[in-house]
Structure 1
Amino acid sequence: MLSGLLALPAGGLPKFIWLSAVFSVFNTVQCMVAPLGMTRRIYSQQPHQVTPLTSHVFAAWTALSAILRYQCAFNMNNEVLYDITFWSYVIAGSHFVSEIVVYKTSKIPGPVISTFCVAITSILWMIKDRDVYIH
């Protein structure tokens, strides 16, 4: 897995997206193996709403995100893949903002902050560096 890191395109963004993919894989496994663990911590304001089923659905979404991010990290010049990956971060960020602000299932400070920071950092960095990778 680490040898693949050397094959990434130049720049920090592909490495950041690759690392995000790796963490997404760990999150997917966690949601499948211990579905009520970390997921209930993320949605700490309404933990009773977290069930094994909701955690497994979250795992499926996160697995898809991991695949997109991994492929994008190695194919930064693929405009469609770049855009889909970008929008996956927008969806993830929007989800966590809505859970904090609208549905009040999460709170800051809390475990949700790291996921939110990754989404926001990715969105801003992908906007900033789009012209570097997409010609």
Structure 2
Amino acid sequence: MIPYFQSLLPPTTASGGYLPHWLLFISVVSIFNSLQTYQSKDLSLTHRVYESAPRNEVTNLSARTFGTWTFITSIVRFYGAYYLVGNKQIYELCMWTFAVAGGHFVSEWIYYGNCKLGKGLAGPLVVSSLSLIWMHAQRDFYLA
């Protein structure tokens, strides 16, 4: 890798670990996802996730609100990417962003019935659940 770009990547522990790089990747993807909620009047991406919701409940306002929430979580995860190692508070904040996101999507699917298990919901569920499991399993590695 080009040394300049490598220097922009988050630090890892002496024995490696890819969680900080994953958090950076997810942060960048989430930022672009957030920006699209402000740039577009097209709600097709939001409708893909909230596929079972009545069309009048998935509005530009709700999309922008969700985009704001996603942007805030991406900031926390971005900080986590760079300050995760040895920092219990940042580590736990990052874990909570995935727990809250996962809880939101599961409740919209199972309790509220606004989502159905399909392409739109699969991405957020996979990212939130696998990231949460990964962070729980690697807690001692990064906080030792």
Confirm or deny a common fold (TM above 0.5).
yes
* Alignment: residue pair count: 134
Unaligned runs of 5+ in 2: none
> What's the offset of the Cα at 1:8?
2.9
| Structure 1 residue ranges (4+ consecutive) displaced by more than 2 angstroms after TM superposition | none
> Residue 32 of structure 1 aligns with which residue?
38
> Residue 49 of structure 1 aligns with which residue?
57
Instruction: Report the TM-score when normalising by structure 1.
Output: 0.92
Match of 2:72 among 49, 52, 64: 64
* Pairing 1:1-135 to 2, within 5 Å after superposition: 2-3=5-6, 4-5=8-9, 7-9=10-12, 10-35=16-41, 36-46=43-53, 47-76=55-84, 77-135=86-144
User: CA deviation digits over 1:30-66, x for unaligned, max 9?
Assistant: 1111252311221111133111111111011011011
User: CA deviation digits over 1:57-79, x for unaligned, max 9?
Assistant: 10110110110111101111211
Counterpart amino acid of 2:92?
A: D
Quick one: percent identity of the two aligned structures? 31
Higher Rg of the two aligned structures? 2
User: CA deviation digits over 1:95-122, x for unaligned, max 9?
Assistant: 0001110111111112111111000011
Instruction: Report the TM-score when normalising by structure 2.
Output: 0.87
Counterpart amino acid of 1:123?
A: L
Residue 113 of structure 2 aligns to a residue in which SS? coil
Unaligned runs of 5+ in 1: none
What is the Cα-based RMSD across aligned positions, in Å?
Answer: 1.6
